[in-house]
Amino acid sequence: MYLTKEAKAEIFKKHGGAENNTGSTEGQIALFTHRINHLTQHLKKNHKDYNTERSLVKMVGKRRSLLDYLKKKDIVKYRELIKELGIRK
């Protein structure tokens, strides 16, 4: 699997505050970003994998809704997070 338990814990530790704080919005957005980047690389090699493409589109939509929620909740954290993760918009 591309994402080990340790790597996932590291993502949540860096963005969520603690490695067992998996419910934080920032941590979930960072995890979605990691998964989106992985699927994007996969689709560059396998451009006819339409199921993965559909999953990618759904995941981008989920991340967008979490980003919108964070933007309404705390604009400063939102700006820091998109700058750190390299997300446009």
Expressed as residue numbers, the domain containing 73 is: 5-85
| Proportion of the chain above pLDDT 70, given as a percent | 99
CB 54 within 8 A of CB 60: no
| CATH label of the domain that carries residue 74 | 1.10.287.10
**Cα–Cα distance measured from residue 24 to residue 47, given in angstroms and rounded to the nearest whole number:** 33
* Report field, pTM of the whole predicted structure over 0.85: yes
Q: What is the pLDDT of residue 2?
A: 79
Q: What token pair was written down for 79?
A: 């700006």
89 — pLDDT class (breaks 50, 70, 90):
confident
- The CA-CA-CA angle for residues 62, 64, 70, to 5°, reads 105
Average pLDDT over residues 36-57: 96
Q: What pLDDT is stored for residue 21 in this prediction?
A: 86
Compute the mean pLDDT over every residue in the chain, rounded to the nearest whole number.
93
Average pLDDT over every residue of 14-28: 89
How many CB atoms sit inside 10 A of residue 40's CB? Answer: 12
- Total tally of structural domains belonging to the chain: 1
Q: What is the mean pLDDT of residues 5-13?
A: 91
